[in-house]
Amino acid sequence: MISGASVSARPTSAGSDTAVTIDEVEKRFGGVHALRGLSARIGYGRLTGLVGPDGAGKTTLMRILTGLLVPDAGRATVAGFDVVRDNDAVHVATGYMPQRFGLYEDLSVMENMRLYARLRGMDADRHTELFAELLDFTRLGPFTARLAGKLSGGMKQKLGLACALMARPAVLLLDEPSVGVDPVSRQDLWRMVQALTDEGMAVIWSTAYLDEAERCERVLLLNEGRLVHEGPPGELTGRLEHRSFRLEDVGARRRAVLAEALDLDGVSDGVIQGAGVRVVLRAGAHPEQVRALADRVDARLVPVPPRFEDAFIDLLGGGPGGASPLAERLPPVTLDSDIAVSCRNLTRRFGDFTATDNVSFEVRKGEIFGLLGPNGAGKSTTFKMLCGLLKPTRGEAHVAGLDLRRATGAAKGRLGYMAQKFSLYGLLSVRQNLEFSAGVYGLEGDARRLRTEEMIDTFGLQPWLSAAPDSLPLGYRQRLALACALMHRPPVLFLDEPTSGVDPITRREFWTHINGLARKGVTVMVTTHFMDEAEYCDRVAMLYRARLIALDTPDALKRGAASEARPDPTMEDAFIHLVETADLAEEAAA
């Protein structure tokens, strides 16, 4: 097995429990101070979470620890090796899985593994036993001949992990390994990483999912290159005792109630949870303001346990306010029908493969409608058909009253689409991307100039106008993509994993805009792997193996997953319950 991997890779530090030392590390990129006097210790046999907002310095630190970057000041050692002086040894002692893992999509699973073995100086023909162990460990054994480009997102991440483990490293560095991965595949990744730490390996897991950070033994929380917290997650969460509340049974008013709550002086953060609104008070604030709000809207105010995400947002000064300047500028949406999007028997086949199978639903005007499902379930294919980008094999779809079979061009002018892979033009600057989008949607003259400036101001893009999109931090690339999708003020908005990989504060900002747009009557369809984001949706459709297996409110789906062992399930619990129930039904029918 992989057992003994970390022990066999330990060099002169075998008698030490310290896997990584970071002493006053500094790193600059021109005028950007990425790391500022950072110091920390990381032990063997531990899972350490690395968290922080976009631009905090997480990836820079990862690259220094793998010997890919040289610190400007300070010192770092990994498995007893100095990252500068012993650079070659560091490469052997570490396994690194970057955010964009360099898999070769035109090679098979086994060909990728053999290639990475050779890159690590191993004779691939003499390590068949190790390959078998890694394939069993990652459950990729049945897929060795499949091209990497044909794998689902979760399977690609497992292959990336197998390649990172190829030389039995002492320290494993995973830079946001679960971005774009569904909850079922995330469970598999957690199972594998837990097994590695149990065997003594040091694992550093950078993540934008704060429920993941909550499961780590220790966390390093970075902000603007500084370490602002180090310790067990519960230590930080404990600071919020008696400061987290939920307004119960708010129902259809929850978006307006959230906006009002976020503008209260004593509220640090707030999110929608199904039919309720969760709020976190600022340090020293009393709940009178929130209690008065609950009385005004006839809601029950109940205390709830704090979460690590609450503490994270609070430590960084709180989330954004409740008002969306983007939505405030938008006139109310008018449509001829209360049904903004509909599809009936929607089916798409690629050769013998059915990506979407007989899917039917309706989305009401002003509704936020979530489309969930494991990787490869058919979500993006369904989106593309509803946007007129992909022709259905069978079935029909309507958007804003227009039949996509007969009026595809007109329908595209009535919708905005933010693709899962950024629909930005790398050869154009930020400003040129905005101006190009305005022109594509028919905006000319003063209207084009004013709308472009409006988007620049709303999304804080002024410092980046001459930059290429690929050079922007991820959060700003997402802001730019959303700005381009909204340039023509469409009544229907399709968002395909709009916040994938961005930090919780940026996600809060996005959802402030989305909630504001919905209150103006914009219909929003969204796919996401963040299960807390599914709570914002009025209704959620669950796709699995190309079929629609559930359609209901988030609270109803959670109630359906309740059990004696789990009386108050989360959306992630509901997701996994639906997948497992569908699998059992299929087995029974076989």
Q: pLDDT digits over 124-177, tens only?
A: 777 788 888 888 888 888 889 999 888 877 788 888 888 888 878 999 999 888
pLDDT of residue 191: 86
pLDDT of residue 303: 96
Q: What is the C-alpha separation between 95 and 120, in angstroms, rounded?
A: 10
Average pLDDT over residues 372-386: 89
pLDDT of residue 467: 94
Query: Of the candidates 262, 255, 267, 253, which has an alpha carbon nearest to the alpha carbon of residue 296?
Result: 253
Adjacent-strand bridge partners of 38 = 25
pLDDT of residue 9: 42
pLDDT of residue 100: 67
pLDDT of residue 421: 67
| pLDDT single digits (tens) 490-536 | 999 999 888 887 888 889 999 999 999 999 999 999 998 888 889 99
Q: Is the pLDDT assigned to residue 14 strictly greater than 60?
A: no
| pLDDT single digits (tens) 346-371 | 999 999 999 999 999 999 999 999 99
Residue 331 is given by DSSP the state P
| pLDDT single digits (tens) 216-233 | 999 999 999 999 999 999
| pLDDT single digits (tens) 56-68 | 899 999 999 999 9
Which amino acid is it at 276? G
> What's the whole-number average pLDDT of the chain?
90
Rg (CA), the chain: 24
Q: Is the pLDDT assigned to residue 10 strictly greater than 50?
A: no
| pLDDT single digits (tens) 89-121 | 998 899 998 876 578 889 999 999 999 888 888
Q: Is the pLDDT assigned to residue 7 strictly greater than 60?
A: no
Q: Judge residue 296's burial from the number of C-beta atoms within 10 Å of its C-beta, 0-12 exposed, 13-18 middle, 19 or more buried.
A: exposed
pTM: 0.86
Q: What is the C-alpha separation between 261 and 264, in angstroms, rounded?
A: 5
pLDDT of residue 237: 94
- Residue 551 neighbours by CB under 8 Å, 6+ apart: 361, 539, 540, 541, 542
- For residue 21, CA distances in Å to 83, 93, 230 come to 10, 14, 14
Handedness of CA 169, 175, 180, 181 (dihedral sign): positive
pLDDT of residue 177: 84
| pLDDT single digits (tens) 250-284 | 988 999 999 999 999 999 999 999 899 999 999 99
Query: Of the candidates 252, 251, 248, 253, which has an alpha carbon nearest to the alpha carbon of residue 279?
Result: 248
Quickly count: other Cβ atoms within 10 Å of residue 337's Cβ: 11
pLDDT of residue 575: 94
- For residue 209, CA distances in Å to 50, 218, 420 come to 11, 15, 18
Q: Is the pLDDT assigned to residue 547 strictly greater than 80?
A: yes
Quickly count: other Cβ atoms within 10 Å of residue 166's Cβ: 22
Q: Is the pLDDT assigned to residue 474 strictly greater than 90?
A: no
- Model confidence at 408, in pLDDT bands (50, 70, 90)? confident
